[in-house]
Structure 1
Amino acid sequence: MTAPSSSGALDQRIEDLLVGAIDPHVHSGPSIAPRSVDHLELAREASDVGFAAIVTKDHDYSGVMTAALIARHHPELKTKVYSGIALNNVVGGLNPYAVEHTAAMGGKIVWMPTLSAENHFRWERESGRAHPASTSKIRPATVVPVLNDDKTVRDDAKEILDILARTGMALASGHLHVSETWIVFEEARKRGVQRLIFTHPEDIVDASLNDVKGIAAMGAMVEHSLCMFLEGNKFQSCAPEDLKKHIDAAGVDNTMLCSDLGQTGNISPVEGVRRGVKLCLDLGYADEDIRKMVSLNAAKVLGLEGDLPSRAH
């Protein structure tokens, strides 16, 4: 009998780590932006490899209704589909009605403004990079401010935070500048928000490793977009080794990994997570630490522990 090759053993190790994985930030469609896969197609692909859950994110709408349809009509899928809402122009910005509706329909995350964040406009202007979800099909985005001129949190943003505290949804920083994230997260903590997610500090938001360390110490989960570290995809903006610096700054227990994929002309979200697991192995992380970052930590911050297979606990 032929012994398995080392590459075969590695491949199996990676596939085992995908069982129970959660992708908490994935851009499947339909969307006004071009997408390579829709929510149902992605759920099927993720189910085939044993993902526990995905959380779909669109910059323009809450995906909770689609998630409910998939749950009702496709009980055979191993992968549960959840969604949330990004507080951009199309949903009315800091709209408490939209946030409460998302919560009532089982939403898991509220993202602070992304394409409508003042910092996002600065990033596009200074980097010369157009965000892949930008479109000429609707009027240009306008700023949705979250802070007053004196750098305090606006009353309409505080109302959103109070809804999150009451409903238990997670607050994600979106494309706010890191200086704004500090202020919003501190106010969120004061108002009783328990679940905080720091969105891709490696790009757009101008975060330093000290910011990562400090915001993690506040109790936030630091979320890294694998597409920004993986070689061979069009969104890479960091060296693979930079991921280790970020993970070590926050600590494994305060780090979760997402694909942030689904755009046309790029690797698929499932393949992105697969390559992310391989990258973490190459960086020297133990299987138990990788499982935390691709499964257990997301389950904890999103309240999805019940979705995990027994082997992932």
Structure 2
Amino acid sequence: MQAAASAADNARNQEVADLLVGAVDLHCHSGPAAMPRILDHHEAMMDCAAARFRALVYKDHFYLGTPHALLLEKLFPDTGVQLFSGIALNNASGGINPHAVDHAAKIGAKIVWMPTLSADNHIKQIAGQAKTFPKTAQKMLDPIPLSALDANGKLTDATKQVLDLIAEADIILAGGHLPASELLIVFEEAGRRGVRKMIVNHPTYIVGATDDDIRELVKLGVYMEHSICMFVEGRAKKYGPDKLAHLIAVAGVDRTLLCSDLGLVGSPRPVDGYREIVKTLLDLQMPAADIRKLISSNAAALLDLDAAPAPSAVN
């Protein structure tokens, strides 16, 4: 019986490994960073290479990571992992700053996150989570609250200019930590201005999107990006498998992304998080083709990787 169980475990692990070939993580919090991280950008890249991921996107709340990605890809050209990053429009980048977005796009950024830690909504939401929400290693200046809307509830001119720049560059607009009520306005206008690639980050956390909000956003062509960290063991876990299955059903497999949002202290390394979430999806009887969409091909399309063949699994 023990041998049979071991064989079954080995078979399941191989199935998971095969499904991870070609995976794409759009949301990796490796370091260096103001917040403590359990791995750096190089280590994250090498973990992805060992698992034969196709691409990795570094996300930092305070700086544009594109130069790091470009240099690491040049220094380690044989990993098989394409590296990307982008800019989060927090105070450190000048807020919702068209000049920062223009520069980021011109040097190859693939994604622009609307305000995260500096979002007015984020500041209000974490007021009651001061003891649990991750902190920077050193005390930083208090954030200046940011919104995409003016005092009259209309999109600011700076936000509109940012949307135009994103559309021109044909890169990804991510909602950051703006509330669902703002995101509906932002993404509707983004679509009108020609933005084709849109993501809501962890819609059920801080953003506060209801099922109806998710359905409305999906109608606008927006993808729902659920953070693996919230479904796997670790300090950020919030939900069980049933919640994951429900959220995938609400948006649909074709409009859902599973990205790690890992690197934080007290949680697994990003690739280990992917291993755990794939096991969960298999336990939920999710077809392999759907799993590949959730962890690979949907994100690959947003990064324009469709034309590049994914590596084949080794049996």
TM-score, scaled to structure 2? 0.94
Counterpart position of 1:274:
275
Other structure's SS at 1:32 match: coil
Counterpart position of 2:237:
236
Counterpart position of 1:15:
17
Q: Distance in 2 between matches of 1:223 and 1:128?
A: 25
Could you tell me the percent identity over the aligned residues?
Answer: 43
Q: Once the two structures are superposed, what CA deviation does each residue of 1:148-179 show, in whole Å capped at 9, x if it has no partner?
A: 12221100010100000100110000000000
Contact 2:229–2:267 (CA under 8 A) maintained in structure 1: no
**Range moving further from structure 2, 119-128 or 239-248:** 119-128
Q: Distance in 2 between matches of 1:133 and 1:163?
A: 32
Q: Which runs of 5+ in 1 are unaligned?
A: none
Other structure's SS at 1:196 match: strand
Asked if residue 86 in structure 1 is aligned to residue 76 in structure 2, the reply is no
Q: Distance in 2 between matches of 1:204 and 1:237?
A: 12
**Aligned-residue offset at 1:310:** 5.0
Q: Once the two structures are superposed, what CA deviation does each residue of 1:155-205 show, in whole Å capped at 9, x if it has no partner?
A: 001010000010011000000000010010011011111110011012111
Q: Which runs of 5+ in 2 are unaligned?
A: none
> Aligned to 1:27, which of 26, 29, 39?
29
Other structure's SS at 1:83 match: strand
Counterpart position of 1:116:
118
**Aligned-residue offset at 1:95:** 1.5
1:99-178 alignment runs, 5 A limit: 99-128=101-130, 130-134=132-136, 136-178=138-180
Q: Distance in 1 between matches of 2:193 and 2:161?
A: 10
Residue type at the aligned position of 1:20: G
Counterpart position of 2:252:
251
Counterpart position of 2:295:
294
Q: Distance in 2 between matches of 1:113 and 1:21?
A: 27
Q: Distance in 1 between matches of 2:167 and 2:26?
A: 20
Other structure's SS at 1:46 match: helix
Residue type at the aligned position of 1:43: M
**Range moving further from structure 2, 163-172 or 264-273:** 264-273
Q: Distance in 2 between matches of 1:121 and 1:227?
A: 21
Other structure's SS at 1:5 match: helix
> Aligned to 1:222, which of 210, 221, 224?
224
> Aligned to 2:53, which of 48, 51, 54?
51
**Aligned-residue offset at 1:295:** 0.3
The root-mean-square deviation of aligned C-alpha atoms, in Å, is: 1.7
Contact 2:52–2:311 (CA under 8 A) maintained in structure 1: no
Contact 1:59–1:133 (CA under 8 A) maintained in structure 2: no
TM-score, scaled to structure 1? 0.95
Contact 2:21–2:311 (CA under 8 A) maintained in structure 1: no
Asked if residue 61 in structure 1 is aligned to residue 33 in structure 2, the reply is no
Contact 1:221–1:301 (CA under 8 A) maintained in structure 2: no
Counterpart position of 1:262:
263
Q: Distance in 2 between matches of 1:135 and 1:95?
A: 26
> Aligned to 1:203, which of 187, 199, 205?
205
**Aligned-residue offset at 1:311:** 4.0
Paired residues, number? 310
Q: Once the two structures are superposed, what CA deviation does each residue of 1:244-273 show, in whole Å capped at 9, x if it has no partner?
A: 111000000000100100012321011011
**Aligned-residue offset at 1:105:** 1.7
